[in-house]
Amino acid sequence: MDHFAIKDGVMHAEDVALPRIADAVGTPVYVYSRATLERHARVFREALDAVPDKLIAFAVKANPNLSVLKVLGRQGYGADVVSVGEMRRALAAGIAPERIVFSGVGKTRAEMAAALDAGIGQFNIESEEEGLELAELADAMGMTASCALRINPDVDAGTHDKISTGKADNKFGVPISEAGQIFGKLAGQRGVNLRGVAVHIGSQLGDLAPLEAAFTKLGELVTALRAAGHIITHVDLGGGLGVPYKQGERLPSPQEYGAMVARVTQGWGVSLIFEPGRVIAGNAGVLLTRVVRVKRGINDPFVIVDAAMNDLARPALYGAYHDFVAVEPDGSAMTANIVGPICETGDTFAMGRHCDRVRTGELAVFRTAGAYGATMASSYNSRGFIAEVLVDGDKFAVVADRIDAGSIMDAERVPDWLA
Ligand code: LLP
């Protein structure tokens, strides 16, 4: 459930009518709802009530906005980060370093050093090579890094190929068949306290079976590692739970996920870490856009909106579906191609979409844009970066300024020999 709804004929975010935001801030603009973020954070946490010892670390990549992180930090969430940039955001939002987990397949030495300096809670090591380098670095710094070894369980998550991470030929983690041997080698190194294992098989998962299969394999690995004399105190189960992008779409609920986790991990005797991203932030945001004009097409009309693939990349990148609805619907419908202004055909949000009728100058939103929206923006076609707004009840604030194309150009230099 989210807090974006039509009231008195106008779509609101909580108690703020979206045209108010468009008038004050301009379009396109991302709009997030604090009440929705808090609700999702609470529902996910309560779904895991049966898991006694846990850390829920929000996957910062899904929405790294400082205010969003602040809201989630206040809900007791930690952070799963994949770069020093994300780590700095989590720290700036007040998330305690020990509640930060550093994932990612290409951590640089400088990033590892910065994370050690910051005192983060856990490194998820993605390879033997990375583990050896971290051990050597931490030892040289006179520190011990708490670590988990990320396992590639070779499970097909059944999601889009580009967001699947747990198949044998994906770049993530170490093959489960070699996990025991690599764990043994790394556990013997000074500089690391290898205390557990981690897994993350993909994103926007619509079925719990692959997750259960991966967790079950992980449980067997924990037993084998313990039998080999290792002390396992932490297991990171990653993120990946999908969200409905279409009205009425049915996905596994957090409650079903929580029940499965409690059942599979019963008796493991570890502290569990979770890294949800989309399920917390996805439906807590919309992309508010204005129709530039409606152009006749051979078949359906083209609704050209002022948002584009540089603002919301998911449709162009993954063929992803985002609901497109009018902010002030008049009850009539149309079939249209929804496109942005960018000069390539990939800048298409939907073809032949049956949707609310919209006219030139009217406002509309792309729903479920709170995760992997603003964070994946680019400045392609010199369009700059759009603003982000957070709504809280009847008030709203700009929580990320629009960065116009001129400011980006200001960071460029023409060398003397070209002047
Ligand atoms: N943990 C790790 C190690 C991850 O790689 C990810 C996502 C997550 C947690 C959070 O997954 P979530 O709960 O949000 O599914 N840009 C793509 C999604 C990429 C996800 C990458 N990793 C999209 O727009 O669909």
Tokens of 405: 């194309």
- Rounded mean pLDDT, 287-302: 98
State yes or no: pLDDT of 370 exceeds 90. yes
* pLDDT for residue 292: 98
Say which residues have a Cβ less than 8 Å from residue 405's Cβ, sequence separation at least 6: 379, 382, 383, 384
Closest CA to 28 of 371, 400, 409, 336: 400
Tokens of 339: 């496109």
DSSP 132: H
- The CA-atom distances, in angstroms, between 242 and each of 60, 159, 235, 263, 281 are 16, 10, 21, 20, 11
Give, for ligand 1, the residue of 82, 86, 151, 203 to mutate: max count of ligand atoms closer than 8 Å to Cβ. 203
**What is the C-alpha separation between 226 and 352, in angstroms, rounded?**
56
Contact in structure between 241 and 208 (CB atoms under 8 Å): no
Give the β-pairing of 10-13 and 16-17: antiparallel
E strand or H helix that includes residue 304: strand 302-305
State yes or no: pLDDT of 239 exceeds 90. yes
E strand or H helix that includes residue 339: strand 333-339
Name the β-bridge partners of 149: 125, 197
DSSP 301: P
- Rounded mean pLDDT, 179-189: 97
* pLDDT for residue 163: 79
Work out which ligand 1 atom sits closest to the CA atom of 276.
13
* pLDDT for residue 170: 86
Closest CA to 25 of 404, 395, 397, 371: 397
Pocket of ligand 1, beta carbon within 6 A: 59, 61-62, 80, 103, 163, 165, 200, 203-204, 238-241, 275-279, 314, 318, 371-372
* pLDDT for residue 160: 85
Determine whether 343 is an active site residue. Answer: yes
* pLDDT for residue 164: 80
- The CA-atom distances, in angstroms, between 84 and each of 61, 63, 70, 101 are 12, 15, 18, 11
Q: Which of 343, 414, 418, 419 is catalytic?
A: 343
Cα radius of gyration rounded to whole Å, the chain: 23
* pLDDT for residue 48: 98
CB atoms inside a 10 Å sphere around CB 251: 18
**What is the C-alpha separation between 185 and 196, in angstroms, rounded?**
14
State yes or no: pLDDT of 282 exceeds 90. yes
CA of 182 to the centre of ligand 1 (A): 25
386-416 tens-digit pLDDT: 999 999 999 999 999 999 999 999 999 999 9
Tokens of 373: 């929206």
* pLDDT for residue 158: 84
State yes or no: pLDDT of 1 exceeds 90. no
Helix (H, G, I), strand (E, B) or coil at 60: helix
**What is the C-alpha separation between 210 and 151, in angstroms, rounded?**
15
**What is the C-alpha separation between 174 and 151, in angstroms, rounded?**
5
Helix (H, G, I), strand (E, B) or coil at 257: helix
Name the β-bridge partners of 288: 29, 365
* pLDDT for residue 92: 98
**What is the C-alpha separation between 86 and 63, in angstroms, rounded?**
10
Residues present in the chain in total: 419
Q: pTM of this prediction? A: 0.97
* pLDDT for residue 60: 98
Task: Give the domains, in start order, of the chain with CATH numbers.
Answer: 4-32+282-410 (2.40.37.10), 34-279 (3.20.20.10)
Contact in structure between 63 and 401 (CB atoms under 8 Å): no
Contact in structure between 93 and 78 (CB atoms under 8 Å): no
305-322 tens-digit pLDDT: 999 999 999 999 999 999
Tokens of 221: 């690995």
- Rounded mean pLDDT, 172-179: 95
What is the band of 247 on the pLDDT scale with cuts at 50, 70, 90?
A: confident
| Percent of the chain whose pLDDT exceeds 90 | 95
Work out which ligand 1 atom sits closest to the CA atom of 165.
5
**What is the C-alpha separation between 365 and 224, in angstroms, rounded?**
51
Say which residues have a Cβ less than 8 Å from residue 148's Cβ, sequence separation at least 6: 122, 123, 124, 125, 194, 195, 196, 197, 198, 234, 235, 236, 273
120-168 tens-digit pLDDT: 999 999 999 999 999 999 999 999 999 999 999 999 888 888 878 888 8
Tokens of 74: 């206040």
Give, for ligand 1, the residue of 275, 368, 378 to mutate: max count of ligand atoms closer than 8 Å to Cβ. 275
- Rounded mean pLDDT, 381-388: 98
CA 198 to chain centre: 18
Q: What angle do CA 95, 373, 326 make, to 5 degrees?
A: 125
Nearest CA to ligand 1 atom 7: 203
84-124 tens-digit pLDDT: 999 999 999 999 999 999 999 999 999 999 999 999 999 99
* pLDDT for residue 157: 84
326-347 tens-digit pLDDT: 999 999 999 999 999 999 999 9
